[in-house]
Structure formats: C-alpha cells, structure tokens
Amino acid sequence: MKHSLLVLFGSALLCGPMAATAQQYGDFTYTTNAGAVTITGYTGSGGPVTIPSTMNGLPVVSIGVRAFFGFSSVTSLAIPSGVTNIGDLAFGWTGMTNITIPGSVSGIGATVFFICSNLTAITVDAQNPFYSSVGGVLFDKSQTTLVEYPDGLTGSYTIPTGVTTLEKRSFVACQLSSVTIASSVTRIGASAFQNCYGLTNATIAGSLTNLGDYAFADCPFLRCVFFMGNAPPHISLSQFAFNGVQEGSIWFLPGSTGWPPAFGGSWDPFVQAAGVQGSEFTLEISTTGYIPVLVEASTNLTTGAWIPLGASFPAPNLYQFRDPDWTLYPARFYRIRPF
C-alpha cells in the first residue's frame, strides 16, 4: 500500500475559492469577481446618492445583499445602466422616495425595499426585458407576478386583473388601509402582508391554490378578511396570527367549500328596512364583518343591465343607501353584493 504525507510549514490548507476582500472606492465598499464589481456597502453621509458605473476601471454589475440597508439618510439612489443584479434587502430601511430600475437589471432579490416607509414609486425602464412597473408597483415583465409594493403608498389598492402571484413579503410593512385581490390571483406568498400595521380590510376575489405561511400575520388592525371563493388548501388561523383577525373575523360566501369551523362564517347581509324618506328611496342594510356592500339597480330583471349606485366603504355594520332618482323610472330593481 502506498502512503502519502502532506506537511505544511507556517500556512493553512484552504479548500475552495478564497473569500473576496472588500475594497473602498469613495463612499462605497466593493468586491471584484471576474473583472466586475459588486457593491457591498455604503459609508457616506446620505442625501442623493449616485452609484458610479465603474470603479477603478471595472464595471459595476451588482449591488450586494444589504448594501445600503439601514441608511435612512439616503433620500434617493441612481442606479447605473450595466447593473444586472440587486441583492436581498439591498435598499432596506433607506429614506428614498422613488427609484428607477434600469433596463439592464435581470435579477432582483427578496424584499429589496424592506421598510422604505417614504418610498411611493418603483419605476422600471420600459426597455427592461425582465421587470415592469404599473402605478409605481414592481411586477415581472408579463405583469403576472407582483414583486414588491412601495411601503410609502397609502389608502386602498386593487391588485390588477391578470396577476396570478403575489411574491413572498411583497407587501410586508406596507401602509395600505385596504386591499382587494383580483380573482386571477391563485398564490399569495409567505408573509406577503405581514406587519402591515395600517391594514384593516382585505378582500380576496377568487379561489387561491396557495396561501403562504403568515401571509396576513402581525397586522394588529386587520378586522376583516373576506374570501369570495373556496378555501385554499391547508388554511389555518396561523396564517393570520398575532393580529386583529381571529375567530369570527374571516368571512366567505355562502356555498363555498373547504372552510374550517374556526373561521367566521358566511357573508349574510340583509335589508332591515326599505321605504321612502322625503323624495328618496332608502334601504337600510345590515352588513357582515365590515365587508363592503355594493348596491346596484336595474329597470328590467330579464334583460336590463345592473348599474352600481352606491357602496359602503369602509363598511359600517349598518349601511343606509339612498336613491334620489327612483321616481324617474317606471320600475327599478335593486340588488346587493360584496364590493
């Protein structure tokens, strides 16, 4: 049998590639690989920041994981054309109000804009073949996947029809008060709406095939989640943990299937009173679980179109609807449905 002997004098045996050593260029730290630069950190004083396209003659192609994380003093960032990758949490907890993704970017990590509470618009260069933006919201190019929603946008938001997937943590820590999720959405990723402290209402218009872990967790003021389709597989109250939505606050349509007994119950509004007050026809509608109610009218139950007239949003427990134009029609029929 042959034997071998390895003797080391004053050195260590290293297996695999050596770790890159960070270098400094102006206000940036960076590493190099294959003749290209990855920005790994920022050491400046904040304000508007422009990332250079080259450092010491080498092209900047990547912004690394957490490169600018925690620099709340950074109010804006200009990313050069030539950057192809932006790492996880790269711009998290910065003070930027808007940002433009250049056409060269082909990879964007998870939660890149985590807790950017001033950010109201993510804009993507129209020539980018991988990503796009609508109304300041970041999507993939086909606009079937919502990648990230700017934390600084407030009020209500309706997911556009055609979107099928909400990425994990896509709305995390957002400042929305209500969200309506289009019927085309079949997958909501893990922690998608976690820590949305302003969120009070969520309406899910279709039937989900996947609802991720903690999708609506840690939303303390979320008082109503309304599902308009069948229950997604593996649903439980843990997906709504540590917030205002617990037993009795998650609602669904009559006739839908798969709902565990712990959930709130079916949506069942009813008209408490109907009549004429002064010159107006009125309906007093008792609602369920703060679910918005839409009142529509038609002049013909067989062929007439249904015209929306009014909605209770945000929904009170009792909605009083008034129609001052009811006398203009020989007959007028009303119906109510979730809004």
**pLDDT per position in the chain (339 positions), as tens?**
444 433 333 333 344 444 568 899 999 999 999 999 999 999 999 999 999 999 999 999 999 999 999 999 999 999 999 999 999 999 999 999 999 999 999 999 999 999 999 999 999 999 999 999 999 999 999 999 999 999 999 999 999 999 999 999 999 999 999 999 999 999 999 999 999 999 988 999 989 999 999 999 999 888 888 898 999 999 988 898 877 655 457 888 888 999 888 776 788 888 989 999 999 999 999 887 677 788 999 999 988 899 989 888 766 678 899 999 999 999 999 998 877
List the Cα angle 261/251/188 in 5-degree steps: 100
* Amino acid at residue number 67: A
Last residue of a domain, one of 117, 136, 162: 117
| Token duo for residue 224 | 């109503």
- Same domain for 260 and 290, yes or no, is no
Last residue of a domain, one of 267, 300, 326: 267
Task: Give the C-alpha separation, 98 to 101, whole Å.
Answer: 10
Q: Is residue 14 part of a domain?
A: no
Decide: helix, strand or coil at residue 90.
coil
What end-to-end distance do the CA atoms of the chain give, in Å? 82
- Same domain for 258 and 163, yes or no, is yes
| Token duo for residue 313 | 């949003």
- Give helix then strand counts, H and E, for the chain: 0, 29
Residue whose pair of structure tokens reads 């990758």 in the numeric block: 85
Q: Is residue 81 part of a domain?
A: yes
- Same domain for 275 and 263, yes or no, is no
Q: Is residue 281 part of a domain?
A: yes
Q: Please name every residue paired with 180 in a beta bridge, in sequence order, or none if there are none.
A: 158, 203
User: Which residues constitute the domain of residue 49?
Assistant: 21-117
Q: Which helix (H) or strand (E) holds 225?
A: strand 224-227
Residue whose pair of structure tokens reads 């606009």 in the numeric block: 143
Order across the sheet with 318-323: list the strands.
270-277, 280-286, 318-323
Task: Give the C-alpha separation, 100 to 76, whole Å.
Answer: 10
Last residue of a domain, one of 267, 285, 311: 267
DSSP 231: P
**What does pTM read for this prediction?**
0.83
